[in-house]
Amino acid sequence: MVAAAKTPELNAPRPERAGECPVCLASNLGWLLSQVHYAFANEQGSALAPLEISPRAYCVLSSAMSGELTQTELAQLTGLDKTTMVVLLDELEEDGLAERRPSAADRRARIIAVTKKGERRVAEAEKVLAGVQSDVLGTLSARERDAFVSALNKLVSERLSEPAEGGPPMRRREPKP
């Protein structure tokens, strides 16, 4: 008779506890940024849910409020691909938060205008998101917080401001709940 092979217990302790960074990834910038993004996006999404607006919709609406931007310009500014932008703008129009209007400069282009209802929603969302950001960054000291945000701004505006050469830029997707 052959002895049955031992299988590890399903609840056996792991080298790292849940929520801790695996040692092998502790200095992996891509993994760390991915984890922060996913967790922060989930917190934002949960906080904005009562307002019936997603973090992505907030980003598009608040960006559209900065000036007369075409759909294409808005997609580039927010880092969304054209297909995602079209679907999102359809939803924003359906909800009465934004409108596509003909451009005075180019009749083929559409300017994205935020409605009064959209402006109110953005103002509400800004308060909610400021609270989430304050809570998350509250984990850090004031000095760490300033250095962290400053460093991210520098990376985004300088070294990582353009897609890498050699292929199409990666598509950005919102995490699935």
50-156 to CATH, choices 3.40.50.970, 1.10.10.10, 3.30.2270.10, 3.40.50.720: 1.10.10.10
Q: How far apart are CA 138 and CA 136, in angstroms?
A: 5
What tens digit of pLDDT does each residue of 38-91 get? 999 999 999 999 999 999 999 999 999 998 899 889 998 898 988 999 999 999
Q: What is the pLDDT of residue 171?
A: 57
Q: How many secondary structure helices (H) and strands (E) does the chain include?
A: 6, 2
What tens digit of pLDDT does each residue of 81-127 get? 889 999 999 999 999 999 999 988 888 888 999 999 999 999 999 99
Q: What is the pLDDT of residue 21?
A: 66
DSSP symbol at 6: P
Between 96 and 3, the higher pLDDT residue: 96
Q: What is the pLDDT of residue 175?
A: 42
What does the domain layout of the chain look like in residue ranges? 50-156
Q: What is the pLDDT of residue 20?
A: 67
